[in-house]
């Protein structure tokens, strides 16, 4: 509950205590579950190396227990960290493996998660039509299952995909519905992510003022809950809005803040883009 409501430090504290107890009891299944959930929290906190180690340790225990369903959950989390750190081939491979396990085992919720993750990978790699198809499939499955968190996540990503093909009204509708659910659930990190996506849509469709407003909202949320990736994305968005309206001088400081955060997180693709933008200016 603490993790889902973006109380990350409190979540780590509770789950670390649970992990200790499971280890004292030699409950390997409980140990793996705690490790995997710690990995989820540390990923949200931008601690990707630690998250990877925890997900891999959980996967290894599940493998030793011959629990293929939970191996798939760990694989999806590993795939997410790989995508965020730029290993798109590794991310796709992990999500495909997870999808195969879920399909064979009949786990509909896990299958929807894998399809959603694969949709995001497709979007990031430029396959927008494939991304839209996968995300719509995931959205339908989440709604059938009554998973509001899954619905919100799929809608947020579907809004991005629609924006890429100039379906602005459809994108805004998806973002609005996603935010309604996330706010009802208390998921402030998810809310910041969707606000950043919405800001990007507005910035790239000739509304930098509206875009900057969304980025500022995302920045406030991200700093409040200490979610560094969304903080970096919000700073980059604000900087790019300012670059377009007022020129490089006003934007440079904010962009350099975003650059420093991306570098610290090891998110190299986004950092390189900002580096290139700043280097394009004389002096």
Q: One digit per residue, pLDDT tens: the chain, 283 residues?
A: 999 999 999 999 999 999 999 999 999 999 999 999 999 999 999 999 999 999 999 999 999 999 999 999 999 999 999 999 999 999 999 999 999 999 999 999 999 999 999 999 999 999 999 999 999 999 999 999 999 999 999 999 999 999 999 999 999 999 999 999 999 999 999 999 999 999 999 999 999 999 999 999 999 999 999 999 999 999 999 999 999 999 999 999 999 999 999 999 999 999 999 999 999 876 5
CB 235 within 8 A of CB 254: yes
CB 98 within 8 A of CB 110: yes
* Nearest CA among 97, 138, 93 for reference residue 115: 138
CB 61 within 8 A of CB 35: yes
Task: For 67-95, give the DSSP string.
Answer: -HHHHHHHHHHHHHHHHHTT-HHHHHHHH
Q: How many helices (H) and strands (E) are present in the chain, helices listed first?
A: 14, 0
Q: How far apart are CA 214 and CA 170, in angstroms?
A: 18
Task: For 25-72, give the DSSP string.
Answer: HT-HHHHHHHHHHHHHHHHHTT-HHHHHHHHHHHHHHHHHTT-HHHHH
Q: What is the pTM of this model?
A: 0.95
């Amino acid at each position: 509950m603490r993790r889902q409501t973006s109380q990350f430090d409190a979540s780590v504290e509770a789950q670390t205590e649970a992990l200790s107890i499971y280890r004292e009891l030699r409950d390997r299944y409980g140990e793996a579950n705690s490790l995997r959930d710690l990995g989820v929290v540390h990923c949200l906190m931008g601690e990707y190396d630690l998250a990877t180690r925890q997900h891999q340790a959980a996967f290894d225990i599940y493998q030793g227990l011959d629990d293929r369903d939970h191996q798939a959950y760990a694989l999806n989390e590993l795939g997410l960290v790989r995508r965020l750190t730029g290993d798109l081939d590794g991310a796709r491979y992990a999500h495909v493996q997870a999808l195969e396990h879920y399909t064979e085992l009949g786990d509909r919720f896990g299958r929807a998660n894998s399809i959603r993750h694969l949709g995001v990978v497709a979007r990031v790699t430029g396959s927008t039509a494939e991304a839209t198809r996968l995300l719509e499939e995931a959205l339908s499955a989440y709604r059938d299952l009554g998973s509001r968190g899954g619905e919100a996540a799929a809608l947020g990503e579907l809004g991005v995909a629609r924006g890429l093909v100039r379906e602005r009204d459809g994108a805004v509708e998806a973002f609005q519905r996603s935010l309604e659910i996330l706010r009802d659930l208390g998921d402030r990190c998810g809310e910041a992510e969707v606000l950043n996506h919405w800001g990007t849509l507005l910035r790239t469709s000739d509304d930098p003022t509206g875009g900057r407003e969304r980025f500022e909202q995302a920045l406030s949320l991200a700093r409040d809950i200490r979610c560094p990736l969304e903080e970096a994305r919000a700073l980059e968005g604000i900087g790019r809005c300012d670059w377009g309206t007022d020129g490089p001088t006003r934007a440079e400081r904010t962009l350099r803040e975003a650059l420093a955060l991306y570098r610290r997180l090891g998110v190299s693709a986004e950092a390189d883009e900002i580096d290139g933008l700043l280097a394009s200016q004389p002096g």
